[in-house]
Amino acid sequence: MVTTPAVEKPSTADELARKLQEAASSKLAVVPVGGGKARGMGGAPGRCDVELHTTRLDRVIEHSQADMVVSVEAGITLEALQEELAKAGQFLPLDPFSSPGHTIGGLLATGWTGPLRLRYGSPRDFLIGIRVALPDGKVASGGGRVVKNVSGYDMMKLHYGALGSLGVIVAASFKVFPKPLYDLTVTSEGGWDDADRALAMPVTPAALEIFSDGRVLARFTGSHDAVDRVIGDLGWTVEDRSIWGRHSGRSPARWARIAAPRTALRGLVEGLPRGAGWWASPGVGVAHWAIASDASSVMATRAKAEAAGGTLVMLAAPDDFMREVGAWGTPPATLEIMRRLKRAFDPDGVLNPGRFLI
């Protein structure tokens, strides 16, 4: 079981790489920690000898306003980065749940996203460069600081969502976006049918969320006239934009994320236990479930999600509950290739043992 681990808080990427190498050469289990927001994600850690915190790696390395590109160290919080970008009227279109306090490295490692994914995609789409410390002490970069780049393999994709299982992200570069010219939030009580109606509008919402009480929240951005016409056609009530900040603060103690092909999501959510609390991004194909029922209901839902080509992943739960349902569900058929990648980068299995699939 988990004993008291050593806590390392290096202040440079090279120092972090050195600590990682030292631990790895002694075959100590290393758990990278950013904001600590996603510690409930993944299998209950089998071992943790060293906690490797990135929080002191918190610099903006370079924000090139004219190029709309920013490079940061991995331990910077999303809020601190947004503050920097806002000086130039820019932003990173990322509004993850369980905010505030996420670090950029943590968000990249976990792949956590929020409602704005509907319009902007996930960091998978706007991460343009990455720097990763590897267990052998090497620090390897991929990508660069340009918005379009096919020079070599896409190492950003390799590490995005890999939960620190191949290396510890120490820095990242992003394409950032101009704040929209016009940004209006509206709401209705009309449930799925209203959500579908809004998604079919000639202006696709930047974000659209539906809640278990039937409420729908949509955000339209872009052309003033076009947004006003669409909102007029919908006839929904205007809502204060600050509601999105409160929405991103959601962080259930027993929390599952259901991801499915968009066309299958409604059926899956409607099959949740009666009275279940959930919210969903139907345009993306993701639903979040604040679990109030037992483990068997989670496993039944997971089976349905997987049959529809989707997944149910636990984002948080008490250890015993997590052990009962399992964090990830059925591994993909390509698991063996993933294991080979793991062995190539972390041959002794020191990074996050037991937590990720590999």
Partner 1 sequence: MLPRSVVEELRTIVGREAVIDSANDLRIFERDGSIEGALPDAVVLASNTEQVAGVIKVAAHNNIPVVPRGAGTGLSGGAVTIRGGIALQVTRMRRILNIDPVAQTAIVEPGVVNQELSLVAAQHGLFYAPDPSSQKACTIGGNAAENSGGPHCLYYGVTTNHVLGMEVVLADGSVHWVSGDAPDRVGLDLCGVIVGSEGTLCAITKIKVRLLRIPPSIATMLAAFPSIETASQAVSAVIGHGIVPAALEMMDNVTVGAVEAHYHAGYPTDAGAVLLVEVDGTAEATRELTAAIGKVLTDNQGYALREAQTPAERELLWAGRKGAIGALGRIKPNYYLHDGVVPRSRLPQVLSAVGEIGEHYKLPVANVFHAGDGNLHPNILFDMRDRDVLHQVESAGEEMLRAVVELGGALSGEHGIGLEKSAFMPWIYSEDDLGAMHRVKDVFDPKGTMNPGKIFPDPSRKSVHLAGRTGLAIEAKWW
Residues 16-45 that bind partner 1 (CB under 8 A): none
**Contact at 8 Å (CB) between 140 and 155?**
yes
- Segment interacting with partner 1 (CB under 8 A) among 74-82, 98-106, 238-246, 339-347: 339-347
Closest CB to partner 1 among residues 182, 249: 182
The secondary structure element, H or E, covering residue 231 is helix 224-234
160 lies in the binding site for partner 1 (CB under 8 A) = yes
Structure tokens at 276: 């279940």
**Contact at 8 Å (CB) between 126 and 314?**
no
Binding residue (CB under 8 A) for partner 1 from 198, 216, 260, 298: 260
Residue 90 φ then ψ, to 5°? -120, 170
144 lies in the binding site for partner 1 (CB under 8 A) = yes
# residues contacting partner 1 (CB under 8 A): 82
Residue 144 φ then ψ, to 5°? -175, -150
Binding residue (CB under 8 A) for partner 1 from 309, 318, 319, 323: 309
354 lies in the binding site for partner 1 (CB under 8 A) = no
Closest CB to partner 1 among residues 53, 112: 112
Binding residue (CB under 8 A) for partner 1 from 222, 273, 277, 354: 222
Report in angstroms the alpha-carbon separations of 223 from 175, 180, 220. Answer: 22, 9, 9
Closest approach, Cβ 47 to partner 1, in A, equals 21
Binding residue (CB under 8 A) for partner 1 from 125, 193, 213, 319: 125
Closest CB to partner 1 among residues 1, 150: 150
By CB atoms closer than 10 A (0-12, 13-18, 19+), residue 102 is: buried
Residue labelled with tokens 């289990």: 29
For residues 77-116, which are near partner 1 according to CB under 8 A?
89, 111
Binding residue (CB under 8 A) for partner 1 from 13, 108, 132, 325: 132
Residues 342 and 358: their CA atoms lie apart, in Å, by 7
